[in-house]
Amino acid sequence: MRPLTSYCVAVVIVFGSAQHAAAQAPTPAQLATPTPSAKMPDNLFVSGQTPIGGDSSSRGASVEWLHPMTTTTALQMGGTVGKSQSGWFSYLRAGGMTRLMSMTFASTVDLGGGHDSGNEFTYRRARGELTLPTGFTPLLAQAEADYISLAGNVATGLRLGAIYQVTSRLSIRANAHGYLSKYDAHYETATEIVDETGYVLNPAGSVRADYGSVKWKLLAGVFLSKRPALTTDAVTFAPSMHATRTTFAGLQVRAGAQDLIGVVDVSEQPGGRITTLMVSVKVPLQ
């Protein structure tokens, strides 16, 4: 029976990215104000993550630069390098955000690739997010579209959510996620060589709470999803679904002009538990 390498890689990165989207340290767009100010300095974000438990050996580091261009627009540039269990990957990122009336648009494009089990692969991703008021002042609505191409495998995603400002210190975010990907399986049985194609839907939901002030902030939440598990036998190939849960907690602290962010997430997988530490530093560039 031949390995389903390309599909496995797609599942690991596509759904791994979706899983950790809620748990990762806040991105530049999340830490910046919705209306960039011309008086704001440029900001540099240096981040890294490493496992501190479980069987995962994936590690990564990234640098992002946020440059306010006008009172309503900002430019975002950066790059990421990382090591997986059987290879490495890297990509460059370009994007930005702008405010039009009461709506905020943010988008990023990633281009890169890497090696997995000795095989090269390419990676492309495009995301666009819209944040808009609902007419009820404490509540903002969000929508995000996501396109991922990895080693010839393509997945498209949609996220719908809301941010509710409960008090001046407490906010809650809730999201519904869904990724649709196509698989292409090629394997051998006792009597024939089989090619199968199909689509897999990965539904998920997440809740995150932030509590604090300008100088400090606590964040915590949970990400629940259904992910495909590859199952094969001598007759057929069919991805089955299994549930995963990731809980996370973190702290953001203002230290002088810098913001320090640390997040720990614990991912419950069928094969065991994986704990990951993520650290990010926001440095204003005067």
The per-residue DSSP string of 228-253 comes to: EE--B-SS-B--EEEEEEEEEEEEEE
SS3 44: strand
Let me know: does 285 contact 42? Beta carbons within 8 Å.
yes
Predicted pLDDT at 226: 77
Number of other residues whose CB lies within 10 A of the CB of residue 204: 23
User: Taking the model in full, what pTM does it have?
Assistant: 0.81
User: CATH number for the 5-285 domain, one of 3.90.1150.10, 3.40.50.300, 2.40.160.40, 1.10.3720.10?
Assistant: 2.40.160.40
Contacts of 225 (CB under 8 A, 6+ apart): 15, 18, 19, 177, 202, 203, 204, 205, 243, 244
Where on the phi/psi map is residue 272: left (φ > 0), alpha (ψ -120 to 50), or beta?
Answer: left
Predicted confidence pLDDT, tens digits, the chain (286 residues): 444 444 444 444 444 443 344 334 444 445 444 445 555 788 899 999 888 865 666 788 999 999 988 888 999 999 999 887 778 889 999 999 998 888 999 999 999 998 887 889 898 999 999 999 998 989 999 999 999 888 777 889 899 999 999 999 999 999 998 888 876 666 666 677 767 777 888 888 999 999 999 899 999 999 888 766 555 444 444 556 667 888 989 999 999 889 999 988 888 876 678 888 889 998 998 7
